[in-house]
Amino acid sequence: MKLEFERFMPKFWEYRDVASGPFRALFDFRKIWKQAVFLCAGVALAPLILMALIDYNVTQKAIESEILLRTSRLVSNERRTISFFLEERKFALDFVVHDNPYETLKDTARLETILENLKKSLGGFSDLGVIDSSGIQINYAGPYRLLGVDYRRHDWFRQVMEKGVYISDVFLGLRNAPHFVIAVKHLLPNGDSFILRSSLDMERFQKILSQMELEPSGDAVIINRSGVLQTPSRYFHDIFSRIPFAIPDFSSTTQVYQTSDSKGRIYVIGYAYIVDTPFILMVTKQKNELMKPWFKTRLHLVAFLAVSIVGILAVIIGVATYLVNHMYMADQKRVMTLHQVEYANKLASIGRLAAGVAHEINNPLAIINEKAGLIKDILTFQSDCAADTKLVGLLDSILSSVERCGAITRRLLGFARHMEVRIQKVSIRDIIQDVIGFLGKEAEYKSIVVSADIPEDVPEFESDRGKLQQIFLNLVNNAFAAMNEGGHLKIAVAAIPDKSVSVTVSDDGCGISDADLKRVFEPFFTTKSRTGGTGLGLSITYGLVQELGGDIQVESAVGKGTRFIVTLPLIREPQTSEQKKDGFDKSRFSDDFVKSSQARRANPEE
Amino acid sequence: MRVLLVDDEEQLVSTLAERLELRGIHAGWATGGEEALERVKSETFDLAVLDVKMPKISGIELKKRLQVLCPAMKFIFLTGHGSEEDFTAGAAEAGSDFYLIKPVKIEALLEKMNEVMRHPGKSI
């Protein structure tokens, strides 16, 4: 799992600078990455989140006020309907007392007729009673025997005598069914007065309420001014129980407010006092139900926001990683180039030093050569002494030693010279023999057997002698480092006519592990950091081979040995800058460079 | 064949001259450019073997001056120095085949001398 995760980690993330001076990375890549991501995310996400929050609040408020407005309109309309219903019945009674003389109303049969007519026309009336000014019911039409009842001490009687009209609360009364009473007072010309009183059943009243257009969770009730339910409620309690809310304050207009019950549910409550009655119309709605469409919208809004944030973050992280990775690569390239320059300078210095030494030694060497030569000449041309053969032998060994020294200095001069030469015709045979010559002594000290298998017909080709020398010096040096005493180094050359020449440098040393094999050409990769390895040898070799348009492969098996195969083109293709750049990137930094270098594990013995 | 040897190392030119004389080649020698220019006034030489790095007058410069005095003269450079500039300049003057690096076997030198005399075109 950890490995899976590491695969997505950019290379710069775990990079820890160990170098100093100009080889130090110019940037703290992790810090730059973090800064870029946080800054971009801040700039991109802050306005988005702010806008989303504002939009959220504005929309929520708009929807809430829309709910309140709708409730208010509904309550308002309903109050008008209820007021009209009550007014209608009040006027009907008023009409009866005006239309019928007091004497007529005392007639029970007439009163019953009027009740019948009222039931048929307006409806809702269940009885009629005539009460004189002393409070005695003097006539009654209806289902009960209430004639002669004395209402003098009743509260409603006093009120109707004072105000002229009275509408009662809803009550059960004798008939044990909810009903209420409307009473009107009529003044007689003689100054006396009487009251016409009617009970109204709740059937019609409730019909009005039930016809209201309410959401399933809504409820419309009528309460009296002490908060007692006058009509049955769908959700609260039975009729005549108290509502679970406080009685709303008196207002002549329709009011809407929000409140919560003991269970924490929020209700939107609209109410209106119905003028001249004890009634208050109250509409309650559960806010959660009303807000359902908003919850859906809100979900969309939040989902959109979340998707946007994830998308923006993904893009920002992607771009930041891409850019910082490129910075990292560029910086690595810079450090690599610096190292290469340093390496090249070092080689050039060694070259100059070698050339200087060679020159200084060549002159005295030439003198020794000529002097010894002259002695030999004298002995050969002028003397005929038999003992001279021993002297000639001695001189010959001096001359051959001088020749050996000459070969060494010439090689040093050649090495120095080729440092500077660019493209020329080169013979791979000469180069390899030069390299073996350079390192021959070291091989002898380490008892390493060096064998070269170079066919006679390997063609000469145009290349950079100095670079080739460096490539094979590096490879042979590496092979020496991998071998103990008594190792075998084999250099084999094979040519594909008109196409390429491949040089295989194989040793039977310690080999390279599978994991390291993938990284041997990476700059700064070394397993010898403690003993002074820079990890640059093979990466420089790789770079040089690439520059010459060639290819290098490595095969290795731990304990068995390693084989490097350098393939060089016989015909040089002019390198464009693009190819160079590409080669550089691929060779050192791209992920698939291992593939391009075709590093693979194999047994070099096979 | 008459050869003029010029090198600032007297021990070298004198010995080399002696050895050539033993092989039947008339060899004169000089340890500097001025001396060499003096010698060609009184003697004629077919070939000059010059060092490249010499005080006052360099081998390259000397060759140019000698050519003015003796247009038929051939040249071989024999030098201890192998720097790139010297090699390029010397090889351009005498052809890379006639640019020799010390120490050189007398047989090899003789061979080159014979060669340069046989192919006059090679040495300009």
Domain boundaries, chain A: 1-47+295-420, 100-196, 214-290, 422-606
Task: Name which of A17-31, A262-276, A277-291, A440-454 the model is least confident about.
Answer: A17-31
For residue A441 the two structure tokens come to 């002594």
Which residue matches tokens 């991501």? Answer: A37
C-alpha neighbours within 13 Å on the C-beta side of residue A217:
13
B109 at the A interface (CB within 8 A)?
no
Q: Does the distance separating the beta carbons of A417 and B82 come in below 8 Å?
A: yes
Query: What burial class does residue A572 get, using C-beta atoms within 10 Å of its C-beta: 0-12 exposed, 13-18 middle, 19+ buried?
Result: middle
Residues A282, A287, A288, A292: what is their CA dihedral angle, to the nearest 10 degrees?
A: 110
Cα torsion B10, B11, B15, B18 to 10°: value is: 40
User: What is the reported pLDDT for B85?
Assistant: 64
The reported pLDDT for the residue numbered A421 is: 46
Indicate the range of A224-233, A551-560, B89-98 predicted with least confidence.
Answer: B89-98
Could you tell me if residue B120 is inside a domain? no
Mutate to test the interface with A, among B15, B49, B77, B107 (most CBs of A within 10 A): B15
- Tell me what the mean pLDDT of segment A443-469 comes to: 84
The two tokens of residue A231 are 């009509």
Write the burial class of residue B44 (CB in 10 Å: 0-12 exposed, 13-18 middle, 19+ buried): exposed
Mutate to test the interface with B, among A349, A359, A383 (most CBs of B within 10 A): A359
* Contact (CB<8Å) B19/A363: no
Nearest-Cα distance to chain A for B111, in Å, is 16
Residue A319 pLDDT > 90? yes
With a cut of 90, say whether residue A27 has pLDDT above it.
Answer: no
CA distance B78 to B99: 6
Q: In this structure, what token pair is assigned to residue A251?
A: 């207002």
pLDDT at A586 (0 to 100): 37
For residue A600, what pLDDT is reported?
Answer: 39
Q: What is the distance between the alpha carbons of residues A281 and A279, in angstroms, rounded to a whole number?
A: 7
d(CA A78, CA A70): 12
DSSP category for residue A242: B
The predicted pLDDT at position B124 comes to: 42
Using alpha carbons, select from A460, A469, A473, A458 the residue that is nearest to residue A421: A469
Return d(Cα A416, Cα A435) in angstroms, integer.
13
pLDDT at A432 over 70: yes
Q: Is B107 on the interface with A (CB under 8 A)?
A: no
Q: Please indicate whether residue B108 or residue A7 has the higher confidence score (pLDDT).
A: B108
Answer whether A71's CB lies under 8 Å from A256's CB. Answer: yes
CB contacts < 8 Å between A and B, how many? 80
Reported as a single tens digit per residue, the pLDDT across A579-597 is 444 334 333 433 333 333 3
CA distances from A250 to A76, A109, A272 (A): 15, 44, 8
Q: Chain B partners of A414 at a C-beta cutoff of 8 Å?
A: 82
Residue listed under structure tokens 């770079």:
A543
Please tell me the predicted confidence (pLDDT) of residue A349: 79
* CB of B88 less than 8 A from some CB of A: no
pLDDT > 60? residue A554: yes
Given a cut of 90, whether residue A124 has pLDDT beyond it is no
Chain B residues touching A355 at Cβ < 8 A: 81-83
Tokens of A89: 């019945």
DSSP A165-178: EEEPPPB-TTTTS-
Give A422's contacts in chain B (Cβ within 8 Å): none
Query: Is the residue at B62 inside a domain?
Result: yes
CATH code for the part of the protein at A214-290: 3.30.450.20
- CA–CA separation, A49 and A41 (whole Å): 11
What CATH number has the domain bearing residue B26? 3.40.50.2300
- What's the full length of chain A, in residues? 606
Tokens 């063609």 identify what position? A459
What is the Cα–Cα distance from A32 to A26, expressed in whole angstroms? 11
pLDDT at position A242 over 50: yes
Q: Quick check: B102 and A363 CB within 8 A?
A: yes
pLDDT in tens, A83-121: 999 999 999 999 999 998 888 889 999 999 999 999 998
Report the C-alpha dihedral over residues A290, A294, A296, A300, rounded to 10 degrees.
180
What distance in Å separates the CA atoms of residue A391 and residue A408, rounded to the nearest whole number? 26
Q: In chain B, whose CA is at the least distance from the CA of A406?
A: B103
Residues of B in contact with A379 (CB under 8 A): none
Q: Determine the pLDDT at residue A592.
A: 36
pLDDT at A39 over 90: yes
| Closest of A272, A257, A261 to residue A222, by C-alpha | A272
Would the CB atoms of A417 and B83 count as touching at under 8 Å? yes
Residue ranges of chain B with per-residue pLDDT less than 70: 81-91, 93-97, 120-124
Put simply, the answer to whether A369 touches B104 (Cβ < 8 Å) is yes
Q: Any chain A CB within 8 A of the CB of B82?
A: yes
Question: Closest Cα partner for A503 from A469, A537, A480?
Answer: A469
Euclidean distance between CA atoms A362 and A594, whole angstroms: 47
Chain A residues contacting B via beta carbons under 8 Å: 355, 358-360, 362-363, 365-371, 373-374, 377-378, 381, 399, 402-403, 405-406, 409-410, 413-414, 416-417, 420-421
How many CB atoms sit inside 10 A of residue B63's CB?
A: 23
Side-chain half-sphere CA neighbours of A374 within 13 A: 16
Our CA-based measurement puts residue A386 at a distance from the nearest CA of chain B, in whole angstroms, of 21
CB contact under 8 A, B101 and A362: yes
C-beta of residue A473 within 8 angstroms of C-beta of residue A554? no
- Is B6 among the domain residues? no
**Other beta carbons less than 10 A from residue A125's beta carbon:** 25
Q: Which residues make Cβ contacts (< 8 Å) with residue A125, sequence separation at least 6?
A: A89, A92, A115, A118, A119, A198, A199, A200
Nearest residue in B to A399, CA atom: B105
**Contact: A406, B84; criterion CB under 8 Å:** no
Do the domains A100-196 and A422-606 sit in the same CATH topology, yes or no? Answer: no
pLDDT tens-digit readout, A249-289: 888 889 998 888 778 888 888 999 988 888 999 888 888 88
Helices (H), A446-596: 465-482, 514-517, 537-547, 577-588, 593-596
Whole-angstrom CA distances from A202 to A40, A179, A181 are: 69, 6, 11
Residue B118 within any structural domain of the chain: no
CATH among 3.40.50.280, 3.10.20.30, 2.60.40.10, 3.30.450.20 for A100-196:
3.30.450.20
Amino acid at A502: S
What whole-number distance in Å separates Cα of residue A499 and Cα of residue B56?
52
Lowest model confidence (mean pLDDT) among A15-24, A277-286, A413-422, B92-101: A413-422
Say whether pLDDT at A40 is over 50.
Answer: yes
Contact between A544 and A467 (Cβ < 8 Å): yes
Of A499, A507, A454, nearest to A480 (Cα)? A507
Q: What is the mean pLDDT of residues A483-501?
A: 86
Looking at residue A96, its pLDDT comes to 92
For residues A539 and A559, give the distance between their C-alpha atoms in angstroms, rounded to a whole number: 23
In this prediction, residue A265 carries a pLDDT of 83
CB contact under 8 A, B82 and A416: yes
DSSP state of A229: B
For residue B104, list chain A residues with Cβ-Cβ distance below 8 A.
366, 369, 406
Question: At residue A396, does pLDDT exceed 80?
Answer: yes
Q: What is the pLDDT of residue A236?
A: 66
pLDDT at A528: 66
Q: Write the CATH number of the domain with boundaries A422-606.
A: 3.30.565.10
Average pLDDT over residues A486-500: 87
Q: What is the DSSP letter of A239?
A: T
Range of the domain at B39: 18-81+93-103
pLDDT at A196 over 80: yes
Indicate left, alpha or beta for A227 from its phi (over 0: left) and psi (-120 to 50: alpha): left
What is the domain count for chain B?
A: 1
The whole-angstrom distance between B91's CA and the closest CA on chain A is: 13
Which 8-state DSSP code applies to residue A421?
A: -
Query: HSE-up of A166 (CA within 13 Å, CB side)?
Result: 24
Q: CA-CA distance, A33 to A495, in Å (whole number)?
A: 50
